C-alpha cells in the first residue's frame, strides 16, 4: 500500500532542511521567478540545486512553484528555466498555466501538478487536466471532505488536498482585493493580505465595532487533523501544509504533528484521541483554527473577526547549531534565563532539560538571553543534534 505524502512548505534552505528533518515526504519551494510568494526568501538556481541534493539524500521530493498567472512578459526564459529544473533533478513543478503544462510535458521529464490557483472543484475539470497531461491536481480549498473523496473516486490522477494553514478570503487564485487597494497583484506574487488588515465598521457614519475590535474579511486558519484518517482511507495522494513565509518553528511543529498522526494511524489503524496532536500544533500556531470547508459550507465560526484572539507564541527560545563534547551551541530566538528548565523538541521526541549556566561566544557568563539570534553555549549530558529546537515551558 502506497503511503500518503506529507507535503510541507519552505521559504528558504533552512526551512527546507527543517521540514524534511521533521517529517515531510516532500517540500514545495519557489524560485526567484514564476512563484507566487515574491516576499519569501525564494531560492536561487544554486539554492534549488542544493535543495534537491539535500531532499534526495533523505528520500524526500522537491516541488517547485511556477504558479503565477502569466502575462506575456512572463514567457521570457520559461523554457530554459523548466529545463534547468529538470536538469538538477526537481521532481515536479506546480503551475496554474495550461501552456506551462504543455511546455513541460513536451520538453522535460518533470511531473506537473496543477495548482490550487485553478480553483479545481469537480472531477470533470480534474479529468480534463489529466487528459492534457497533468500528473497531479491540487484541489481548491473550498471543498468538503465528501466532495474531495468523490473527486478522487471519479479521477485517474493523483489528488492533493490542503490540510493546514491560511485560507484565502476569496476563491483560491481569484482574489483582486490586494490589487485594488495597494496595486500589488496577488496572482503575480505581491499579495498584501488586505483581508487581514484592521478595519472599522460604520453605519450611517457611526463606528459600530466595539473598542479594540476590528472588522475583517479574514478566515481562521485551516486545521484538519481529525480528517486525516478518512483522507488516507480514501486514497488521497498528498496532504499539503500551507505557509512558505512561516517561521522555522512553525514549519517544524506543524509538519511534525501531522507526521506523527499519519504514522500512528498507519501503525494502529485508528486514532482514538486527537488532543496530543492539537496540543503540539498549539505550540506554534498563533491564529485560531477551524475546519474550513471540510464539514461543508463555512459559517461565522470559521471567520476571524477579532485579532485580539490571536496571540503570538513566544515559547520557541533557541535553535541548536551543534553539540560536541558536552557543549551545546545554540542560536537564541526568545527570552529565557540561565538554569531554566526547557523543552527540547526533536523530530522524534521531546524531553525536558535544565540549561544550567549560559555563556556567550567570548566565554562570558550570561544570566539572561535577551538578544535575538545571539549565539550562546551551555553544558549538557544530552546529545543534541543540529536543528533540534528549544522551547520555554
pLDDT tier at 173, thresholds 50, 70, 90? low
Question: Do 268 and 387 have their domain in common?
Answer: no
Q: What is the mean pLDDT of residues 268-278?
A: 96
Check whether residue 303 and residue 332 sit in a common domain.
no
Mean pLDDT of 212-238: 88
- This prediction has a pTM of 0.92
Residues 119 and 195 in one domain: yes
The whole-number pLDDT of residue 35 equals 67
Tell which wins on pLDDT, 182 or 359.
359
Q: What is the pLDDT of residues 137-153, one digit of tens each?
A: 999 999 999 999 999 99
* SS3 of residue 46 by DSSP: helix
Both 25 and 124 in a single domain? yes
> Do 248 and 324 belong together in one domain?
no
Model confidence over 28-47: pLDDT tens digits? 998 877 765 545 457 899 99
Among the listed ranges 36-45, 256-265, 356-365, which one has the minimum average pLDDT value?
36-45
Would you state the pLDDT for residue 316?
A: 95
* 161 and 269 fall within a common domain: yes
- pLDDT of 193 reads 76
What mean pLDDT comes out for the span 192-201? 78
Instruction: Report which secondary-structure segment, H or E, holds 13.
Output: helix 13-21
> Looking at the structure, do residues 64 and 134 belong to the same domain, yes or no?
yes
Do residue 253 and residue 337 come from a single domain?
no
CATH of the domain at 177: 3.20.20.380
- What pLDDT is attached to residue 374? 96
DSSP string, 96-154: S-HHHHHHHHHH---EEEE-GGG---SHHHHHHHHHTT-SEEE--S---HHHHHHHHHT
**Would you say how long the chain is, in residues?**
393
**Where does a domain end: 280, 309, 338?**
309
Residue 308 confidence (pLDDT) above 60: no
Where does a domain end: 309, 330, 345? 309
More confident residue, 167 or 263: 263
pLDDT band at 48 (very low <50, low <70, confident <90, very high): very high
Output the domain CATH number for residue 356: 2.40.30.10
Residues 282 and 300 in one domain: yes
Residue 66 has pLDDT above 70, yes or no: yes
Q: Which domain holds residue 304?
A: 5-309
Residues 215 and 203: their CA atoms lie apart, in Å, by: 13
Where is the domain boundary, 243, 276, 309? Answer: 309
User: What's the distance, Cα to Cα, between the start and end of the chain in Å?
Assistant: 40
The predicted structure's pLDDT at residue 367: 96
Distances (CA, A) of 142 to 37, 258, 290, 320: 21, 21, 13, 39
Contact 129, 96 (CB under 8 A): no
Mean pLDDT of all residues in 53-61: 98
Q: Are residues 235 and 367 located together in one domain of the fold? A: no
pLDDT confidence of residue 114: 97
Looking at residue 62, its pLDDT comes to 98
Same domain? For 213 and 280 the reply is yes
Q: What is the mean pLDDT of the chain?
A: 90
Structural domain tally of the chain? 2
Residue pair 219/298 in contact by the 8 Å Cβ criterion: yes
83 and 153 fall within a common domain? yes
Amino acid at each position: 500500500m502506497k503511503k500518503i505524502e506529507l507535503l510541507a512548505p519552505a521559504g528558504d534552505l533552512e526551512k527546507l532542511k527543517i521540514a524534511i528533518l521533521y517529517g515531510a515526504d516532500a517540500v514545495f519551494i519557489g524560485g526567484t521567478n514564476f512563484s507566487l510568494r515574491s516576499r519569501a526568501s525564494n531560492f536561487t538556481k544554486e539554492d534549488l540545486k542544493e535543495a534537491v541534493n539535500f531532499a534526495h539524500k533523505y528520500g524526500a521530493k522537491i516541488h517547485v512553484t511556477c504558479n503565477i498567472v502569466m502575462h506575456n512578459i512572463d514567457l521570457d526564459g520559461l523554457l530554459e528555466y523548466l529545463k534547468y529544473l529538470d536538469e538538477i533533478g526537481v521532481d515536479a513543478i506546480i503551475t496554474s498555466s495550461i501552456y506551462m503544462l504543455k511546455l513541460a510535458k513536451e520538453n522535460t521529464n518533470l511531473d506537473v501538478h496543477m495548482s490550487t490557483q485553478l480553483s479545481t472543484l469537480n472531477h470533470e475539470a480534474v479529468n480534463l487536466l489529466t487528459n492534457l497531461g497533468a500528473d497531479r491536481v491540487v484541489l481548491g480549498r473550498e471543498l468538503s471532505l465528501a466532495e474531495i473523496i468523490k473527486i478522487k473516486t471519479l479521477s485517474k490522477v493523483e489528488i492533493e488536498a490542503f490540510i493546514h494553514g491560511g485560507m484565502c478570503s476569496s476563491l483560491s487564485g481569484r482574489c483582486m482585493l490586494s490589487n485594488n487597494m495597494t496595486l500589488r497583484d496577488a496572482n503575480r506574487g505581491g499579495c498584501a493580505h488586505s483581508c487581514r488588515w484592521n478595519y472599522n465598521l460604520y453605519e450611517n457614519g457611526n463606528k459600530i465595532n466595539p473598542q479594540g475590535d476590528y472588522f475583517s474579511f479574514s478566515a481562521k486558519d485551516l486545521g484538519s487533523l481529525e480528517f486525516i484518517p478518512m483522507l488516507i482511507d480514501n486514497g488521497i495522494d498528498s496532504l499539503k501544509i500551507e505557509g512558505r513565509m512561516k517561521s522555522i518553528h512553525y514549519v517544524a511543529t506543524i509538519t511534525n504533528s501531522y507526521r506523527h498522526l499519519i504514522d500512528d494511524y498507519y501503525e494502529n489503524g485508528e486514532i482514538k484521541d486527537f488532543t496530543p496532536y492539537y496540543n503540539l500544533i498549539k505550540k506554534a500556531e498563533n491564529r485560531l483554527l477551524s475546519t474550513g470547508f471540510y464539514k461543508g459550507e463555512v459559517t461565522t465560526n470559521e471567520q476571524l473577526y477579532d485579532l485580539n484572539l490571536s496571540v503570538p507564541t513566544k515559547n520557541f527560545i533557541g535553535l541548536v547549531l551543534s553539540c560536541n563534547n558536552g557543549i551545546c551551541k545554540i542560536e537564541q530566538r526568545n527570552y529565557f534565563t540561565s538554569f531554566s528548565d526547557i523543552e527540547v523538541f526533536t523530530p522524534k521526541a521531546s524531553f525536558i532539560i535544565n540549561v544550567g549556566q549560559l555563556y556567550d561566544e567570548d566565554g562570558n557568563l550570561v544570566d539572561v538571553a535577551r538578544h535575538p539570534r545571539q549565539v550562546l553555549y551551555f553544558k549538557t549530558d544530552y546529545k543534541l543534534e543540529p536543528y533540534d529546537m528549544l522551547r520555554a515551558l
